Amino acid sequence: MNLELISKIARSTPSKIVLFVVDGLGGLPHPDTGKTELEAANIPNLSRLAGNSICGLTDPVFPGISPGSGPGHLALFGYDPVKNLIGRGVLEALGIGLELEDGDLAVRGNFCTVEGDVIVDRRAGRIPTNESVELCQQLNKIKLQGVETSVHPVKDHRFVVIFRGPGLSEDVSESDPQRTDAAPLEIMALSPSAGETARIANEFVAQAREILSSRRTANMVLLRGFSMLPHLPPMSEVYRLRPAAIASYPMYRGLAKIVGMDTLDTGLALQDELVTLGRHFSNYDFFYIHYKATDAAGEDGDFGRKVKALEELDEHIPDLLTLKPDVIVVTGDHSTPAVLAAHSWHPVPVLIHSRWCRPDRVASFTERTCASGSLGRFPATHVMPLALAYAQKLAKFGA
């Protein structure tokens, strides 16, 4: 999408847009039933909404590419996810309220469990956050030559490491092989200038393993998402919006901050997020709401739990409709089929609801029905200009 073009014709209006991102929304048929999670779920409210909307499928990055949550969200916000690739470390750091300086290197960490040199659980059983806090305090004892190091708990098994010092580079590989039954990888320099950073990161991992060696679980760390603070044009300038984010998970709050959204304090449950939406509805004209439960279940390979997460979401759709936003977009940042237990390249269902849309013939909100919707299959970067247009926030282009 051409942000320069959109910024020239964007205009401020009182109309309100809600972008509801159902993380990992898309799925695949279960081998026993032939139904996807959306098809198996009892979601009458979403289906009714789809019947009064226009529907389609989006490609978050490009056909065939399995995106991370960062690129998937940036695309939905209208930013090119390839040109603006942001590492997970920065997103997690900003999401928990850390102040980063130019030159700081932020790294996403997982506590994991190893037996010998082999990873048996990449997430250490999703240890509770209070346990992670204690482990991070132990890791803050690590001292490295040439840099300051700080370790901060995020949520469950996740943490952030901040390296602060001269000459750091984000151009290094990750230690996470992204699978079990494999050894953690050595962190490698990907450019000549990154050799010292790779040495520092490997030394951090070695000291962390020594500190955690007496534990049966959470006895090792995996590092990925080495990244530095990016500088993107804020949504308020590009789209002439007053944008706000309602998300409980730190990474998604970090994403929202990077594109200039206000991040509103909210609770962990979807009901809490919708209460927050109602409380602040008069103060902003664009709201991004994030729902994580669907993705977590998909990544765990739990088909039934993902179905239940979709049904829980459906129960709260009337709460959203009560506020009468001018435009409602429901979609996902990527697909996470439970049968794959991972993010996938499959296109993602999307519906756009507005009084100005011409509803198509889609009568239920599923992958197969949305494939026949009037929006067709299109890049996720086009969601924002469509939402702006249906909110009458774009002026005519040209004479």
DSSP character string of 141-208 = T---TTSEEEEEE-STTEEEEEEESTT--S-B--S--SSSSSPPPPP-BSSGGGHHHHHHHHHHHHHH
What is the reported pLDDT for 85? 83
Chain length of the chain = 399
Q: Which helix (H) or strand (E) holds 296?
A: helix 293-299
User: How far apart are the C-alpha atoms of 98 and 152, rounded to whole Å?
Assistant: 9
Mapping DSSP to helix (H, G, I), strand (E, B) and coil, where does residue 272 land? helix
Closest among 54, 46, 71, 78 to 376, alpha carbons compared? 54
Tally of CB atoms within 10 A around 340: 16
Q: Which two tokens stand for residue 30?
A: 């279960």
Q: Structural domains in the chain?
A: 3-83+233-390 (3.40.720.10), 92-227 (3.30.70)
pLDDT tens digit at each of 399 positions of the chain: 688 899 999 999 999 999 999 999 999 999 999 999 999 999 999 999 999 999 999 999 999 999 999 899 999 999 999 998 888 899 889 888 888 888 999 999 999 999 999 999 999 989 999 999 999 999 999 999 889 999 999 988 999 999 999 999 999 999 999 899 999 999 999 999 999 999 999 999 999 999 999 999 999 999 999 999 888 999 999 999 999 999 998 889 988 989 999 999 999 899 999 999 999 999 999 999 999 999 999 999 999 999 999 999 999 999 999 999 999 999 999 999 999 999 999 999 999 999 999 999 999 999 999 999 999 999 999 999 999 999 999 999 987
Tally of CB atoms within 10 A around 94: 24
User: How far apart are the C-alpha atoms of 165 and 175, rounded to whole Å?
Assistant: 21
User: Around 288, how many Cα atoms within 13 Å sit in the side-chain half-sphere?
Assistant: 31
Distance of CA 341 to the CA centre of its chain: 16
**In the chain, where do the E strands start and end?**
17-22, 54-59, 105-115, 118-121, 148-153, 158-164, 220-227, 243-246, 262-263, 286-291, 327-331, 348-354, 376-379
Q: What angle do CA 260, 87, 73 make, to 5 degrees?
A: 50
* Phi, then psi, of 221 in degrees rounded to 5: -125, 150
User: How far apart are the C-alpha atoms of 224 and 68, rounded to whole Å?
Assistant: 12
Tally of CB atoms within 10 A around 18: 21
User: How far apart are the C-alpha atoms of 37 and 233, rounded to whole Å?
Assistant: 37
User: How far apart are the C-alpha atoms of 394 and 374, rounded to whole Å?
Assistant: 21
What is the reported pLDDT for 254? 86
Closest among 304, 281, 285, 286 to 294, alpha carbons compared? 304
Tally of CB atoms within 10 A around 102: 7
What is the reported pLDDT for 155? 86
In Å, the largest CA–CA distance within the chain is: 72
- What letter represents residue 394's amino acid? L
Q: Which two tokens stand for residue 261?
A: 């959204």
User: How far apart are the C-alpha atoms of 174 and 170, rounded to whole Å?
Assistant: 10
- What letter represents residue 270's amino acid? L
What is the reported pLDDT for 94? 85
What is the reported pLDDT for 146? 87
Closest among 20, 69, 17 to 254, alpha carbons compared? 69
Q: Which two tokens stand for residue 50?
A: 């789809």
Closest among 242, 256, 207, 237 to 86, alpha carbons compared? 256
